[in-house]
Every structure is written in C-alpha cells, then in structure tokens.
Structure 1
Amino acid sequence: MRVQAFMFYGCAVFFLVTDIVYWLWSKDWTGTTALALSVGLAGLVGFYIHFTIRRLEKANNGPLYEDDPEGEIADAAGELGFFSPHSWWPLFVALSAAAVALGLVFGWWLVIAGLAASLLSTIGLVFEYYRGHFSH
C-alpha cells in the first residue's frame, strides 16, 4: 500500500509543476487556484495513506500482506469490515444534500430545510445500529 501513497505524492508534484507552468503562461487566477487545490488534495490523500500504512505496519509487526513480495492471496482472507446491506439512510443523506445545493440556487429557505434534513439524516445514518432490531 505504500505504493499508493507515493502515487499520490507523484500526482501532487505533477500538479505543482503544471500549476507553475500554467501560471507563467496564462496568468489566470481561476485555473491556478484550481490546480493549487489539486496539489493540496493529492498531497493530503498521500499523507493520510502514508501514515495510516505506517500505523498498520506497526500493529502487524511487519509489512502488510499486499506489500510482501512472498505473500499469498490467502493471506488476505478474513473479515474486512462491516457493510450495511439494507440501509436507506445514504439515500436520505444524498437527497438532503441535493436540497441544500438546490437551495443555493432557488432560495435560502430551501437551504435551511436542507440543512435540517441533512442533520437529521446524518444522525440517523450514524446511529442506525445503536438501537432497534439491528443494534449490536
């Protein structure tokens, strides 16, 4: 996984060089700002992946199975996490976010209603498995 971090670092360097060349040739603030934000985003993702992998390697007392040149496919077997197969909450979160975005176009009243719906649907998504039939 360390390769993915260096891929994002490489993207950040590429965007930085592109940003400098773009600024020197065009003197356009909009494109330069967009490319600068791309540099920051690629660097941020690379930084997160790099230090998350370092923490996981310390926890595993060695490289992860995907970084081991002698690793087997069976080394990756096991539980990968919990994924909700039946949740409707992501749909409600997306609809409320769309209401906020449309509120920026049509009126502040829709922004307020969308923010309220976003808050309620996010709370529902986060606390879905804390009560009721599927609590654990």
Structure 2
Amino acid sequence: MLPFNAILTSLGNRALFGRFTTKALHSLFQQAVGGVTPAVFCVRLRSVLDVDVTEELASVALPILYLQARADNVVPRSATALIQKIRPEMRLVETDSPHCLLQVVSQDAARVIGEFVVSTTYAMVAPIREPCR
C-alpha cells in the first residue's frame, strides 16, 4: 500500500466510522481505497466540495427521508438545518451511528427506509384511489 493510502485509510476510517469501527469495516475500507491514487482522490474530494444542489432540492416533488448519524464526522448538523429550511416536511430520523450508517446500523436503517416507503407510498396512492363501480 502506498504511504498516501495508509494515511488516507487511517484518517478516513476515523472520519467515516469513528468509535463504531471494527476490523471488518477497516479492512473493507482499506480494500476500497487501497488502489486510489492521490490525484484521483483529490479529484473526487473536489467534486464533492464543489457540488451545490439546493435549487434542485427545492423542486423535488417526492417525500424525503434523511437518516442522520449522530456521530457523523463528515456532514455537519448545519446541513440538516439547511435541508429542513428548504424542505420542512422532510422526515428526519437520527441514528446512533457514524457517517457510514448503512454499514454500521444496516438492519435499523433498512427497517426505517422500509417503513418510510410504505407510509409514503400509501399516502401518495390513497388520494387517487376511486371506488370500484
């Protein structure tokens, strides 16, 4: 592994998993970034930092679920406030997890997502149902 990748793996593991890290998660993360060159990593990071889709968010006509990790070291809480300002009807569910919550609390996240899909599907379909004649 390149020295850059060792540093990236160590810092990234702390940022993404924090106190929730396990040997298995660390190993998977190491495999994922092990071959990423510094140049590619910089391009990816720059693209994340440069994106701004607040206008597009305002025009989304579907229900929004935000799974917020209480121990997120990547996305600041101010991001939640911004989304809530733009889409106040957004459903917010906090989890005791790090940024990579789908990897850490996958069963809880799947349950919440499933409940959200069911509740929003019913809410969207119910008003357009007409009685059978």
TM bin, normalised by shorter chain, reads under 0.3
Larger Rg: 1
Larger proportion of strand = 2
Question: Which structure would you say has the larger RCO, counting Cα contacts within 8 Å and 6 or more residues apart?
Answer: 2
